[in-house]
Structure 1
Amino acid sequence: MSITKIMDTKKLILWIIFSFSIMLLWHQWQNDYKQNQYIQTANNSITDSTTIIPNIYHDTKKYDTGDLINVKTDLLDITLDCLGAQIIKVKLLKYPSLMNKDEGTILLDKNDKNFYVVQSGIISNKAKEEFPNHQTNFTFNKDDSIFLGNQKKLVFEANVNNVLLKKIFLINEKSYNIQVIHKLTNNNKETIYPSLYLQIERDGNEPYGISKFYKTFTGFAVFSNKEKFQKISFDDITKNKQKYIKESSNGWIAMVQQYFTTALIPTPGINHKNEIVKINDLYKNTYVARVIENLEQVLPNHTISNTSNLWIGPQDQNTLSQLSEGLDLVVDYGFFTIIAKPLFLLLTLMYKIFNNWGWSIVFLTIFIKLIFFPLSSASYKSMAKLKDIAPKIQSLKEIYNEDKQKLNIALMDLYKTEKINPLGGCLPTLIQIPVFIALYWVLLSSVEMKGAPWILWINDLSAKDPFFILPSLMMLTMFLQIKLNPAPTDPIQAKIMMIMPIVFGFMMFFFPSGLVLYWCVNNTISIMQQWFITKNLYHS
C-alpha cells in the first residue's frame, strides 16, 4: 500500500468502532441467528425407543387448552394449563413491554401467533406403555394448593394406567425460580421403570419487541461440567448441525434471548440425556430442548419424588450464578466476553455509587477514556502533525502527480524530516477497539438497562430515545470530530466522511438510548481530549 493511501485510510479509523460493531451484529445475524427457512429435517426425530416423547405434533391438540389456572406474584403472572399441567404463559411484571409500557413483558405464550411453553411428563422404557405426560388431562387439586402467603403451591394430578403423577409447582413471591416436584406412585402389581422429561418448546419467531436494527442471540443453550457452555441456534437445528453434550449428570438447558431466559435445571447427580430437535408440524414448526432423567425403579404401591428448578425471568447474572454453575453465561456478550465481564462489574460498581444506570454509563465511559488517554494522546498528536504538514503533502502531490513511486519516496522523506509515523494515529485506536466493542455488548445485552431511567425524557435505557435528542447530539459530535481531523486528500473519501455521521445518526434513532448515550459521551470526551492535546502541541 502506498504512503498516500495509508495517510488517507487512517482518517477513517475513528469510525471503525462504530462500523465494526454494526458489521459484527449483521454478520452474526446473517450466519448464525437468522430466522430458519423451515427446511424439513427428518434426522431430527428421536429414534431411541427408551426416550420416545408422546408424538402429538401433527394434531390440533397441540394448540388446544384445558382449564386454565392463573397465579400472580410480585414478579410473575403465570398461566398454567390443566392439559399437560404445563406453563403456557408468563408475564414479567417488573419489566415493561416495549409495545405497551403499562403491561409487563410477555416471555412465554401460547396462541395462534406465538408458541413458547414449558412441559414435562413421564415415559416408560416400554414403547407402548403410556404414563401421564404433557398431553394428559390433569386435575387441579384445590384442596392441596395454596394461593396465599409468600410461597404459592399449585398441585396437579393425573392417573394413567394405574400410575399417579402429582406435579407440584412451588412459586416464591419474590423469586423468578420455580421449584417443580414430580411425585410418581405405582398402583400396579408390577415394578415400573419410568423416566422424567422436562422440556422447553417454542417457535422460531423473534421475541416480542425485538428491534430489526440490531440482533442478539435467540436460541438454546446447554451447560455441563464437561463441555461447559454451548449455544445452539435455530438455524443449526434446522440444518441438523446442532452440537451439544448428549448425556450428563449435571448442568442445565435453557432458552436464551435478549435480556431474558427460561432454564430447566434437573436434579444434580442423576444421569440425564439432552435432546434438542426441530418438530415439523402441519401448522407451525417448533423447536424443543429437553432433558430426560432415568428415575429409579418404582415397586408396586411405592412412591418416588423428583425435584427440579425452573427459572423464568431476567438474566440476572448474580442470582443465576448462585442457582446453578454457569447459568450466568446465558448473558451473551459475544466474542469479547473476556473483556465484557470486567466491564459489567465496573458498571455495576458505578451503579452502587450513583444509583442510576444512565450516570453509571456516563462515568464508566469517562473512566475508560482516562485509562486510554496515553494511547489517545499519541494518536491525536500524530493526526495534529499530519494536519500541520497537509499543505506540504499537497504540494508534493502536485509536483509528483504522474510518478507515484517518487511521490511515496518524497512523502517518506517528509515524514522522516518531520518525525511523523504515518501509522501513528491508527495503532493506538485499534488497540482500544476491543474494549469499546465489549462495552457495546454489555449495554446491549444487560437486562439492568431494561426499564432503567436516566434523566428527564429518557425513562428506559433499553428503548430508543423518544425525541431523538441523543442521536442528534451524536451526529453533531461526529461532525465535530471530522472537523478536528485532517481532511482526506481523496475527494471521494472526503464525501464519505461527511455522509457517515448522517448514516450512523439515522441508525441510532432506533438503537437503545443507553447505547447512544455511551457513544455521545465517548465522542464528546474524544473531542475534548483531541482539542486539549492539539492546543498544547501547537502552544509548545
Structure 2
Amino acid sequence: MDTQRTLLAVVLSIIVLVLYEQWMAPKPTHPAAAPTAVTQSATAKPAPAPTSATATAPSTSAAATLSGTVTSGLASPAELAAAPSVPFATQVYQGSVSLLGGDIVHLGLKHYPTSSSDKAPYPILTPESARLTLQQSGFRALDGQILQGRYRLLQDTGHTLIFQGEAGPLRIEKTLEFAPDSYLIHETVRVTNGGSSDWNGSYLDQILRNDRSESHWFMSIFTGAVLMHNGSFSEKSFSDLRSHPEDWSGSGWAGMTDHYFLEAILPEPKATGQIYARAEGPNSVAGVAVALPRLAPGQSTTIEQDLYLGPKEQKTLSSLGRGLEQTVDYGWFAIIAEPMHGVLSWFHSWTGNWGLAIVLLVLAVKILFFYPSAISYRSMANMRKLQPKLEQIKKQYGEDRQKMGAAMMELYRSEKVNPMAGCLPIVIQMPVFIALYWVLVESVSLRMAPFVLWIHDLAAPDPYYILPLLMGVSMFIQQRLNPAPMDPMQKKILSALPVIFAIFFSFFPAGLVLYWLTNNVVSIAQQYLITRHVMKEV
C-alpha cells in the first residue's frame, strides 16, 4: 500500500460516509395542513387576586399521575392562532402570548433572518402549518382530565407580562420575565384551588412540532426531540417517537431541536415529574409534567421554570449549566470539535469575519500538524524521485507481478525509502479534519454570515460555484506534486477526483469549501517546498 492508495481510500470513505448518512436519514412526513389566522392583540380588566394559602407537600397520589401517558387535550394550533394575544418585544425577540393557555404562540428571533431573501425574524414558534412549532401548557388532573387556562393581561412592565386566569376549579397567575438580551425566559405559575374539594394533579408544558425533517446539502441533520432524564441526554427522531414513545419519571428537561435552533422546557433542577416525547397525530410533542402538591380548597402553590427559545450557541448553552450544549451535535469527534469551536470563535473576535476565522483556524491546524505533514510530503517526494526506476522495473518484469513487487521492495531497501511513511500522518490528521468539518456544519454563527464579495452566506452553497472550482483546481495541482500511481486504473480514478470533488462540493456550504480550499493551498505550498528540496538532494 502506498500513500496515493491510502489517500484515495480516505477520500472515498468520506464520500461514502456522507452519502450513507443522507440515505439513512429519516424520511420527512407530511403534516396535515392546519388553517391559520391572524393573531389579534387583546387585554382585559384584571380579575380578583386568588386567595393565598400554604400548599401541602406532594402526595403519593399526585406522583401517581406521572406514571401514565400524558393525554392530549390542549388547544389546537388553529384555535391558538385564532385566539386573542398580547404582543411583546425585547432586544432579541418579537412575539405574542396567546390568552388561550397563556403561552407564546408567535416568536421571531430578531438577530436571525428567516432566509437570505426574507429578512423577517426567524419564526422559532409559529402556529402556521408549514413551520408548526408551539409551546403548550396546561394542568392534568389525577383522573387524566386536561385543563387549559384562559387568561387576561394583568400587567405589562415592558420586560414582564403578568396574566390571570382560570382552568376549571383552578385560579392561576402566570408571569413571564424577559431579560433584554437573553434567550432564556423565566416563567412563574401560581396556582390556587378555587373549588370546594381537593385538587390533585400536575402542570405540563410541552413543545409541539410538525414532523418536518432537515437536510443540509447531502448532510444528515438531526431534527427531533431532545430529552434530559436524571442526567442522561438522548435524542429521538420523529420516526423513533412513532414506534417508541418515551415516558420517564424523574428530573430533567425536554424540547425540540433542528439544525440551528432549540426550544426547551427547563423545570427547576430539583423538580421531579414526567419527561416525555411521543407522536401526536401528524405532529410530535416533547415536554415535562411536574407533580403539584395536593391542594385543599383555597390553598396555593407556585411553579417556577425557564424556557430556552433560541439559537444553539455553544457558549450560551454551556453557561446555563443544564447540559443544553449537548444538543450541538459534533459527531464522533466531539472531544476535539468543542475546543476547535472555541478557537474559531476566538479568531472571529479578532477579525469580525467568520470566513477569515475559518482561514486562520485551518492555518492553526496546519501548524499543529506541520511535522507529521512534512514526513508525509517527504515520503511522497522520495517516491516521486524513484519514479523513473520504478518505471524501469515495471517494463522489465511486465505482467509478472510477484517479481515486480520483489524488485520494488529491494529498491525501497537500497534507497532507504519507506512507502508507508506517508500513510500514518494522513490517518492521524483525519479525526481533526472531520471534527473541523462538523464544527463548520453545526455552528449557527455561520448562518447568514458573509465572507467577501459574492459570498453572503457561509452556510449556503457558493451561488456562482467559484470556490468549488478553485478547490478542484487546487486538488489537480496537488496531484501533480504526488508520485503517479503504478496501476493504470488507480491513475484514472485519481485523475477524475478533482472534477468529482468540484461537482460534489458545489452543493456544500461555502464555509466548508473555503476550509477545504485553504487546506489544499497551504498543503500545496508546504509540499512544493519539501518536494523541491528532496529532488535537489544527491
CA contact (8 A) 2:66 2:249 kept: no
What's the CA shift for 1:206?
Answer: 2.8
CA distance in 1, matches of 2:179, 2:253: 21
Decide which of 110, 117, 126 is 2:134's aligned counterpart.
117
In the TM superposition, what whole-angstrom CA distance separates every residue of 1:436-479 from its partner, at most 9, and x where no partner exists? 00001011101121233333333332222233322222111111
Change (3 A) 1:420 1:50: closer
Residue 100 (structure 2) aligned to one of 83, 95, 100: 83
Residue 156 of structure 2 aligns to which amino acid in structure 1? S
**Would the aligned equivalents of 1:108 and 1:116 in 2 still touch at CA under 8 Å?**
yes
From 206, 213, 219, the counterpart of 2:218: 213
Q: Would you say the 8 A contact 1:50–1:125 is kept in 2?
A: no
Matched with 1:465 is 462
Letter in structure 2 aligned against 1:217 = F
Instruction: Work out whether residues 224 and 245 of structure 1, in 8 Å CA contact, stay in contact via their aligned partners in 2.
Output: no
Matched, 1:184 2:191: yes
| Cα distance in 2 between the residues matched to 1:460 and 1:154 | 40
The whole-number CA distance in structure 2 between the counterparts of 1:301 and 1:111 is 39
Which of 147, 151, 158 pairs up with 1:139?
151
CA contact (8 A) 1:193 1:297 kept: yes
Q: Secondary structure at the match of 1:220?
A: strand
Please say if residues 32 and 235 of structure 1, whose CA atoms lie closer than 8 Å, have aligned partners that are also in contact.
Answer: no
Cα offset for 1:195?
A: 0.4
Residue-by-residue CA offset, 1:161-216 (whole Å, 9 max, x unaligned): x2123332222231111112222110112221120111111111135xx5343232
Secondary structure of the 1:110 match is coil
Moved more, 436-445 or 405-414: 405-414
Which of 182, 202, 205 is 1:175 aligned to?
182
Of 421, 433, 437, 2:434 maps to 437
In the alignment, is the contact (CA less than 8 A) between 2:468 and 2:502 conserved in 1?
yes
Give the match for residue 259 of structure 1. Answer: 260
| Among candidates 170, 188, 200, match of residue 207 of structure 2 | 200
Aligned partner letter, 2:134: V
CA distance in 1, matches of 2:126, 2:236: 21
Deviation at 1:125, TM superposition (A): 1.1
Q: Which amino acid aligns with 2:216?
A: S
The 3 A distance-change label for structure 1 pair 472 and 238 is same
Task: Determine the C-alpha separation between the residues in 2 that align with 1:363 and 1:60.
Answer: 47
What displacement does 1:124 show?
1.0
Separation (CA, whole Å) in 2 of partners of 1:323 and 1:79 = 25
Aligned with 1:113: secondary structure? helix
Distance, in Å, in 2 between the alignment partners of 1:397 and 1:57 is: 77
Aligned-partner Cα distance in 2 for 1:465–1:88: 35
CA contact (8 A) 2:206 2:255 kept: no
Instruction: Report the CA distance between 1:481 and its aligned residue.
Output: 0.9
Distance in 2 (CA, whole Å) between partners of 1:364 and 1:455 is 17
Counterpart code for 2:279: K
Preserved CA contact (<8 Å) 2:102 2:163: no
* CA pair 174-58 structure 1, distance change in 2 beyond 3 A: closer
Which of the numbers 162, 166, 189 marks the counterpart of 1:158? 166
- Tell me the distance in 2 between the aligned counterparts of 1:30 and 1:178: 38
Contact 2:469 2:502 in 1 (8 A): yes
Pick the aligned partner of 1:247 from 223, 238, 249.
249
User: Is the contact made by 1:63 and 1:111 (CA closer than 8 Å) also made in structure 2?
Assistant: no
| Counterpart Cα distance in 2 of 1:189 and 1:343 | 60
Query: Which one is further off, 337-346 or 314-323?
Result: 314-323
* Residues 51 and 292 in structure 1, CA contact (< 8 A), matched pair in contact too: no
Shift of residue 519, structure 1, vs aligned partner: 0.9
Equivalent pairs, count: 505
- The AA in structure 2 aligned to 1:158 is E
The 2-side partners of 1:67 and 1:408 are apart by: 82
Q: Give a deviation string over 1:284-325, Cα, whole Å, max 9, x none.
A: x11111111111121211221111100111112222222232
Cα drift, residue 29 of structure 1: 3.7
Is 1:24 the counterpart of 2:17? The answer is: yes
Alpha-carbon offset, residue 17 of structure 1: 6.0
2:143 corresponds to: 126
Does 1:349 pair with 2:346? Answer: yes
The one-letter code sitting in structure 1 at the alignment partner of 2:454 is: W
Match of 2:518 among 496, 521, 524: 521
Whether contact under 8 Å (1:17, 1:436) holds in the other structure is no
Instruction: State the 1:517 CA deviation.
Output: 1.2
Q: Distance in 2 between matches of 1:499 and 1:107?
A: 43
Q: Bigger CA drift: 180-189 or 493-502? A: 493-502
Letter in 2 for 1:144: Q
Query: Counterpart of 2:155 in 1: which secondary structure?
Result: coil
* Corresponding letter in the other structure for 2:163: V
Question: How many angstroms does 1:266 deviate by?
Answer: 0.7
Question: 1:276 is matched with which residue?
Answer: 277
Question: What is the match of residue 41 of structure 1?
Answer: none
What's the Cα RMSD here?
Answer: 2.6
72 and 17 in structure 1: CA distance in 2 versus 1, 3 angstrom threshold: farther
SS of the residue corresponding to residue 470 of structure 1 reads helix
Quote the offset at 1:26 in angstroms. Answer: 3.3
TM-score using structure 1 length = 0.86
Matches of 1:16 and 1:349 in 2, distance apart?
34
Q: Is this contact kept in 1: 2:260–2:443, CA < 8 A?
A: yes
Distance 2:464 2:478 in 1: 24
Which residue pairs with 1:42 in the alignment? none
Unmatched 5+ residue regions in structure 2? Answer: 32-63
Q: Say which of 293, 298, 301 aligns to 1:296.
A: 293
Give the AA of the match of 1:234: F
Does the 8 A contact of 1:33 with 1:218 survive in 2?
no
Letter in 1 for 2:493: I
Flag the 1:411–1:333 CA change in 2: closer, same or farther, 3 A: same
CA 1:245–1:319 in structure 2 vs 1: closer, same or farther (change >3 Å)? farther
- Deviation string 1:79-108 (CA, Å, 9 cap, x unpaired) is 333333333332211112235242222222
Whole-angstrom distance in 2 between the partners of 1:451 and 1:248: 39
Structure-1 residue corresponding to 2:42? none
Q: Report what 1:43 is aligned to.
A: none
Instruction: State the Cα distance separating 1:224 from its structure 2 match.
Output: 4.2
Paired residues of 1:277 and 1:288 also in contact (CA < 8 A): yes
3-state SS, counterpart of residue 411 of structure 1: helix
**Cα distance in 2, alignment partners of residues 371 and 439 from structure 1:** 14
Superposed CA offset, 1:381-434 (max 9, x none): 111121222232222223323322222212211211121222222111011000
Moved more, 323-332 or 492-501: 492-501
Task: Tell me, in whole angstroms, the C-alpha distance in 2 between the residues paired with 1:346 and 1:330.
Answer: 20
Which residue number in structure 1 is paired with residue 378 of structure 2? 381
SS of equivalent to 1:431 = helix
- What does residue 3 of structure 1 align with? none
Provide closer, same or farther for how the CA distance between residues 466 and 399 of structure 1 changes in structure 2, counting only shifts above 3 A.
same
Alignment partner of 1:144: what SS?
Answer: strand
Classify the secondary structure of the residue corresponding to 2:534.
helix
Normalized against structure 2, the TM-score is what? 0.87
**Which residue matches 1:338?**
335
Q: Specify the SS of the correspondent of 2:182.
A: coil
Shift, 1:335, TM fit: 0.8
